[in-house]
A = this chain, B = another copy of it.
Amino acid sequence: MSQTLTHESTTRARRALATRLEILRGAAAAFRERGFHATRLEDVAAALGRTKGSLYYYFRSKEEILYFCQDHVLDGLLAAGRAAERNGRDPGAALERLLATHVEQLLGEAGGGPAHFEVEALPPVRRAAIVAKRDRYEAIVHRLIARGQRARAFGAGDPALLARVALGAVNATARWYRPGGPLTPAEIGREVARRVVHGL
């Protein structure tokens, strides 16, 4: 009985996540087209062929969609980052794989766009949570670069500065990428990660 309940609630949670991701994709497209600040929740609902009321069940404001987008992607990046740290025999290859995954997650789930960048638009408590996760992820990249430097895989240089430059290059893909272009998110990820790691 309790197992059935657990199973039911897991299924429900999975369905809710799938719906949230579907709403995110529609919202991200609207943000890309009109800009985050000019988009209303009504526009997102209309683009998805939903009523505003049915959207409201999942997100009570466009800021909540923003938070979900950034939080969801950062959870994925932190998991990939921890995996890269655990399994680091070749620090250059581990970092390259991590940055390729980073681009793929950034572009794949919601097609890039301003939803990844509008941290200022979040309410203060949400913003602090996102900034803290982002800092933890940046610290992983920083440590991977420092490890690569110790292993003489990378040249000398301030690893904090280099982590920011590397992350700047991979994050910028979300500014110019448009779904349906000639390259897939995975292809862009591989090419960008290769260049960035080579630059280190």
Contacts and interface: CB of A to CB of B under 8 A. Distances in A.
Interface of A: 35-38, 114, 117, 120-121, 157-158, 161-162, 164-173, 175-176, 183, 188, 191-192, 195-196, 198-200
Give 8 closest A-B pairs by Cβ, nearest first: A168-B172, A199-B199, A35-B120, A169-B169, A195-B199, A168-B169, A198-B199, A164-B176
30 contacts: A35-B120, A35-B121, A36-B120, A37-B37, A37-B120, A37-B121, A38-B120, A117-B117, A157-B191, A158-B191, A161-B183, A161-B191, A161-B192, A164-B172, A165-B169, A165-B173, A165-B192, A165-B195, A166-B169, A168-B168, A168-B169, A168-B170, A168-B171, A168-B176, A169-B172, A172-B172, A195-B199, A195-B200, A198-B198, A199-B200
Contacts of A157: 191, 195
Number of this chain's copies in the complex: 2
Contacts of A35: 120-121
Contacts of A171: 168, 172
A154 to B, nearest CB: 10
A188 to B, nearest CB: 7
Contacts of A161: 183, 188, 191-192
A175 B167 CA distance: 11
A15 B26 CA distance: 49
Contacts of A199: 195-196, 198-200
B120 A195 contact: no
